[in-house]
Amino acid sequence: MVGGEEAQAASLFDARPAYVALGHLHRPQGITAATTVRYAGSPFPLSSAERDYRHSIAVVRLAQGACAVDLMPIPRPVAFLSVGPAPLDEAVAAIEALDLDPTMPGEIWPFIEIAVRIEGPEPHLQSRILGALENKPLRLVRILSVRAEASEAAKDPMSGADLAELAPHDVFAALFRRDYGEAPAEDLAAAFAQLLVETETAVEDR
């Protein structure tokens, strides 16, 4: 998906339908159009990158050609934890410090992703991480090895990147996270998505 070839203008939808449900974006967002147009979003996390995001469903009430949309947050009974990026000793200590109820049922054990910052070979990295996890009510998603130089480059997510290969919303989210330390709020992400659609539409209309 390079250059917006996959995009369609919001004017594709006129006022005849009361509600238009779109896919396939992970996060819900509305599109400004002649009627109510929304991406419903996924009801549960589809990757570890969504661990801090609150998923929801949209309840749509139709009456006399109009509609009202209410978002209902979906409870997440299973936590998604993360450790790091940190040096191996600190990552191990952080895992060992987790205070979890060992009697909790296996189906609600938290997921965990562990990122270890390394400067050279760490032959015992995996065994030490697995040792720290032993007898902990946790489900390991993955262990990431992050080189120190890569970690520094990550402070600027656009460093060395070819912008032609990056999706605009990913660039926006990465720069926002770099500057503010967190992902953009849903309404801000939706506003950017709408601005992107309007910009691409203006280019198409020239």
pLDDT tens, 42-73? 777 776 677 777 788 888 898 887 788 888 88
Question: What's the token pair of residue 129?
Answer: 């991480």
Cβ of 164: how many Cβ atoms within 10 Å? 7
Assign 148 a pLDDT band (cuts: 50, 70, 90): low
Residues 6+ apart with CB under 8 A from 201: 9, 10, 11
CA pair distance 72, 58, nearest whole angstrom: 6
**DSSP structural state of residue 183:** P
Helix 186-204 to helix 168-180 angle, to the nearest 10 degrees?
140
pLDDT value of position 194: 75
Which of 42, 1, 38 lies closest to 21, judged by CA? 38
pLDDT value of position 4: 58
pLDDT value of position 39: 81
Most confident of 15-24, 106-115, 175-184: 106-115
Judged against a pLDDT cut of 50, whether residue 153 lies above it is answered with no
Mean pLDDT of 174-197: 75
pLDDT value of position 65: 72
pLDDT value of position 21: 87
15, 45 Cβ separation under 8 angstroms: no
pLDDT tens, 112-123? 888 888 877 778
CA pair distance 158, 43, nearest whole angstrom: 30
Mean pLDDT of 192-199: 73
Mean pLDDT of 142-161: 60
pLDDT value of position 146: 80
Q: What is the pLDDT of the chain when averaged over all its residues? A: 76
Question: What's the token pair of residue 148?
Answer: 């120190």
DSSP secondary structure letters along 2-41: -TTTT---GGGS-SSSSEEEE---SS-EEE-SSSEEEE--
The alpha carbon of residue 7 and the mean position of all alpha carbons in its chain are separated, in whole angstroms, by 21
SS3 of residue 166 by DSSP: coil
